[in-house]
């Protein structure tokens, strides 16, 4: 058995298929065109794959490539009797039909269980078909710093007439297969996890996203517990038109301060229209100069931008609720209305308790974490058997109010306390060191009242832009020399110190626009030189100009943009007083240069033009990586330094204002 990473290119009169062995350096190329007809060889190869039980690894293969494969396998004998132009055109029509079905929101013609060749789809596995994470292969290539993120220069409607055109198509297809193979390698642990789950539970989870794993396994366990067939359980839902929030607020929720009683009253009189939950409720509270925002999701609040340090007798405490949303349901006996509470909560708690017994390195620990965290989201998904929007609102609204109670208890109970941040499942607070025991005692009272658990830590420093964008530096952690050396190699940006034969690491947490390590591939990694420089300035006291001079990795300077709606990209250059335009592809990788052109967003509907980088800055398109000397790249350091200093000045300036307010 040989497993293959694969991709198809379907043009109006030319079909190209590329297969690369998933381990070995072996590539097979098939072309169906009047200048080269490999259809019989392709058909035989696919039949061999089917009978050998080989796997096809692809990017969106379940929704597209596998549909073409199945068509070839089912109609292969009839297709083989036709001339290559007719075959390639029929394959093109099947491809267009498949795309049209997808665009219309319809299921593929052939479901995954009906496919002749088993599929591993890295697109679905990574949940890049979800609106919040939606990513094309080109965008993931950008995120991986792939050398070539160019689109194929030949449109699928082009009538192919030359060998050179065919070579171009093959080259493009090989590039896509190679990058898909790289995604497969980066997803190796996730693939092995899904293989183990598939074998253990007899459910095909190879291409399953994390929410689907949660849905399938919760369904598996709950079906057995309730004695209800999976099919019947899948049909169950609780549909509601409105939710009276006053009826679902926990009885222990109480406040002393007027500002918090106001939000409590707002929620008690709120009636939610379940058909309009996005932006359906917004309210803000200001306490000790800190604005906190409430909605139908989580609570969010942060002090003014600045650098906050544990010094002069102050410490920064950070406390998070352990598995907050799952435990709110478990401890209060909540379930979707159509599922018996006792059985649901018992099963939910079983996942929680079992996870605690399993080492974090064990993949099953991660599986149970997925189930615990995803179940809440599935309760708000109309396509899930757990759907009940009231269950969702019970969790999110009581979660906000419960956390706000802790916030008020700590703020009022500790003299000189300075609230820094509250965010969904935890908070950070600057307190006098002498009151640490008082802080923990208040937290214990809250735990007893809510039946929830808190996890505590201390920060040495917090660099806050806002509630979603910050850097937190943890207290020194002592390590063995071996672990210290290993950590230095893995996370060189952390602070490592040695003192009298003892080894310490200062770990950090970077969020939002300050993140630059272990970014998920769907996220925008544009200009990582900026968050890196900011980090080294605030954490390592390194001058920005010095850090930038020392970091000459071109991929830290590149930025990426992708097409949305009616907007397309165009490069505009001026030479000898004349304007020259060049259309650009849907994903553009570029950097800011001293000499270059302007990359413009153009609206096809109304002709509006917007500069991707406004002002005097010029850009160089960089979809194809070329090795050059640093001078030849012509990077404009001033642009990147200006962005860095904007952030530094924003934080430093507001710090001075906030100190006057807080102290």
Closest among 540, 510, 502, 542 to 528, alpha carbons compared? 510
Q: What is the residue extent of each domain of the chain? A: 4-207, 209-238+338-387, 242-337+388-474, 558-634
H or E segment and range at residue 508: strand 508-511
Longest dimension (CA), the chain: 87
Mean pLDDT of the region 57-71: 98
Distances, alpha carbon 297 to alpha carbons 229, 277, 472, 473, in Å: 33, 10, 24, 27
For residue 652, the model assigns a pLDDT of 86
Closest among 179, 175, 176, 199 to 187, alpha carbons compared? 179
For residue 655, the model assigns a pLDDT of 38
Burial class of residue 627 in the structure, from the number of CB atoms within 10 Å of its CB (0-12 exposed, 13-18 middle, 19+ buried): exposed
- The band of 656, judged by pLDDT with boundaries at 50, 70 and 90, is very low
Mean residue pLDDT across the chain: 94
| Domain 4-207 sits in CATH 3.30.420 | yes
Q: How many CB atoms lie within 10 A of CB 500?
A: 4
Q: 25 with 5: CB under 8 angstroms?
A: no
Mean pLDDT of the region 372-392: 93
Q: 320 with 425: CB under 8 angstroms?
A: yes
Residue 545 tokens, joined: 């100009």
Mean pLDDT of the region 426-447: 97
Range of lowest pLDDT (3-7, 119-123, 496-500, 605-609): 496-500
Q: How far apart are CA 405 and CA 446, in angstroms?
A: 8
For residue 414, the model assigns a pLDDT of 97
543-549 LR contacts (CB < 8 Å, sep 24+): 544/641, 544/644, 544/645, 544/648, 545/641, 548/637, 548/640, 548/641, 548/644
Residue 80 clears pLDDT 90, i.e. is over it: yes
Q: Residue 149: how many CA atoms within 13 Å on its side-chain side?
A: 28
Kindly report the CA angle at 651 between 649 and 655, in degrees rounded to 5?
110
Residue 29 tokens, joined: 């190329």
- The band of 502, judged by pLDDT with boundaries at 50, 70 and 90, is confident
- Of all residues in the chain, the percent with pLDDT exceeding 90 is 87
Distances, alpha carbon 17 to alpha carbons 5, 28, 634, in Å: 11, 8, 39
Segment 588-617, tens digit of pLDDT: 999 999 999 999 999 999 999 999 999 999
Burial class of residue 156 in the structure, from the number of CB atoms within 10 Å of its CB (0-12 exposed, 13-18 middle, 19+ buried): middle
Q: How far apart are CA 658 and CA 663, in angstroms?
A: 8
Taken in order 374, 379, 381, 387, is the CA torsion positive or negative? positive
Segment 8-53, tens digit of pLDDT: 999 999 999 999 999 999 999 999 999 999 999 999 999 999 999 9
Closest among 370, 416, 463, 397 to 655, alpha carbons compared? 463
Residue 562 tokens, joined: 């992708």
Segment 395-409, tens digit of pLDDT: 999 999 999 999 999
- Of all residues in the chain, the percent with pLDDT exceeding 70 is 98
273-279 LR contacts (CB < 8 Å, sep 24+): 273/241, 273/242, 274/240, 274/241, 274/242, 274/243, 274/389, 275/241, 277/389
Q: How far apart are CA 632 and CA 116, in angstroms?
A: 51
Segment 534-544, tens digit of pLDDT: 999 999 999 99
- The band of 662, judged by pLDDT with boundaries at 50, 70 and 90, is very low
β-pairing verdict for 300-302 and 418-423: antiparallel
> Which stretches within 313-466 are classed as H helix?
324-332, 341-357, 363-378, 389-413, 436-450
Closest among 323, 321, 338, 330 to 389, alpha carbons compared? 338
Q: Which fold has domain 242-337+388-474?
A: Palm domain of DNA polymerase (3.90.1600)
For residue 658, the model assigns a pLDDT of 36
Map tokens 């679902």 to a residue. 248
Segment 242-275, tens digit of pLDDT: 999 999 999 999 999 999 999 999 999 999 999 8
Kindly report the CA angle at 483 between 481 and 489, in degrees rounded to 5?
105
Cβ contacts of 565 within 8 Å, gap of 6 or more: none
Q: How far apart are CA 189 and CA 401, in angstroms?
A: 38
Task: Specify the pTM.
Answer: 0.92
For residue 486, the model assigns a pLDDT of 86
Residue 663 clears pLDDT 50, i.e. is over it: no
Mean pLDDT of the region 94-102: 97
Closest among 495, 562, 486, 579 to 526, alpha carbons compared? 562
Segment 444-494, tens digit of pLDDT: 999 999 999 999 999 999 999 999 999 999 988 888 888 888 888 888 888
Q: Residue 616: how many CA atoms within 13 Å on its side-chain side?
A: 5
Mean pLDDT of the region 560-579: 92
């Amino acid at each position: 058995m040989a497993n293959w990473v694969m991709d198809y290119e379907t043009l109006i009169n030319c079909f190209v298929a590329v297969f690369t062995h998933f381990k070995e350096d072996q590539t097979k190329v098939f072309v169906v065109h009047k200048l080269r007809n490999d259809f019989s060889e392709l058909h035989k190869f696919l039949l061999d794959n089917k009978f050998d039980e080989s796997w096809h690894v692809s990017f969106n293969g379940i929704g597209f490539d596998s549909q073409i494969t199945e068509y070839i396998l089912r109609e292969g004998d009839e297709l083989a009797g036709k001339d290559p132009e007719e075959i390639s055109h029929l394959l093109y029509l099947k491809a267009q039909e498949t795309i049209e079905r997808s665009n219309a929101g319809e299921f593929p013609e052939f479901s995954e269980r009906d496919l002749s060749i088993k599929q591993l789809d890295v697109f679905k596995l990574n949940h890049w078909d979800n609106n919040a994470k939606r990513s094309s292969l080109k965008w993931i290539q950008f995120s991986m710093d792939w050398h070539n993120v160019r689109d194929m220069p030949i449109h699928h409607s082009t009538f192919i007439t030359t060998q050179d055109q065919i070579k171009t198509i093959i080259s493009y297809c090989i590039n896509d297969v190679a990058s898909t193979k790289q995604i497969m390698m980066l997803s190796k642990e996730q693939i092995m996890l899904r293989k183990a789950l598939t074998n253990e539970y007899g459910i095909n989870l190879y291409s399953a996203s994390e929410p689907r794993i949660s849905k399938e396994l919760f369904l598996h366990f709950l079906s057995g517990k309730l004695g209800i067939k999976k099919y019947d359980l899948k049909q169950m839902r609780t549909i509601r038109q409105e939710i009276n929030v006053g009826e679902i607020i926990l009885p222990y929720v109480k406040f002393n301060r007027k500002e918090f009683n106001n939000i409590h009253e707002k929620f008690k009189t709120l009636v939610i229209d379940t058909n309009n939950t996005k932006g359906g409720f917004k309210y803000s509270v200001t306490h000790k100069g800190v604005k906190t925002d409430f909605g139908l999701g989580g609570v969010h609040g942060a002090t003014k931008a600045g650098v906050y340090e544990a010094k002069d007798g102050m410490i920064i405490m950070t406390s998070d609720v352990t598995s907050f949303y799952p435990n709110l349901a478990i401890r209060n006996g909540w379930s979707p209305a159509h599922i018996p509470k006792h059985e649901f909560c018992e099963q939910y708690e079983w996942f929680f308790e079992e996870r605690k017994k399993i080492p974090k390195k064990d993949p099953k620990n991660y599986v149970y974490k997925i189930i615990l965290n995803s179940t809440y989201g599935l309760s708000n998904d109309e396509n899930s058997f757990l759907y009940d929007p009231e269950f969702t609102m019970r969790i999110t609204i009581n979660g906000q109010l419960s956390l706000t109670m802790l916030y008020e208890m700590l703020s009022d109970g500790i003299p000189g306390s300075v609230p820094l941040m509250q965010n969904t499942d935890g908070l950070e607070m600057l307190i006098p060191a002498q009151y640490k025991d008082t802080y923990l005692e208040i937290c214990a009272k809250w735990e007893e009242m809510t039946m929830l658990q808190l996890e505590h830590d201390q920060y040495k420093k917090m660099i806050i832009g806002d509630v979603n964008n910050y850097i937190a530096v943890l207290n020194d952690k002592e390590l063995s020399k071996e672990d210290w050396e290993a950590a230095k190699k893995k996370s060189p940006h952390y602070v490592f110190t040695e003192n009298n034969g003892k080894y310490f690491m200062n770990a950090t947490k970077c969020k939002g626009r300050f993140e630059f390590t272990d970014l998920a591939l769907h996220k925008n990694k544009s200009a990582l030189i900026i968050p890196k420089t900011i980090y080294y300035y605030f954490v390592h006291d390194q001058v920005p100009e010095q850090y930038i001079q020392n970091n000459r990795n071109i991929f830290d300077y590149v930025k990426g943009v992708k097409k949305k709606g009616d907007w397309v990209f165009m490069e505009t250059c001026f030479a000898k007083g004349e304007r020259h335009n060049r259309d650009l592809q849907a994903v553009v990788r570029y950097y800011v240069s001293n000499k270059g052109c302007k990359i413009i967003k153009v609206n096809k509907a109304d002709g509006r033009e917007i500069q991707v980088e406004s002002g005097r800055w010029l850009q160089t398109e960089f979809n194809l990586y070329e090795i050059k000397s640093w001078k030849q790249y012509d990077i404009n350091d001033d642009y990147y330094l200006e962005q860095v200093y904007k952030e530094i000045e924003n934080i430093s300036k507001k710090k001075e204002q906030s100190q006057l307010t807080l102290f």
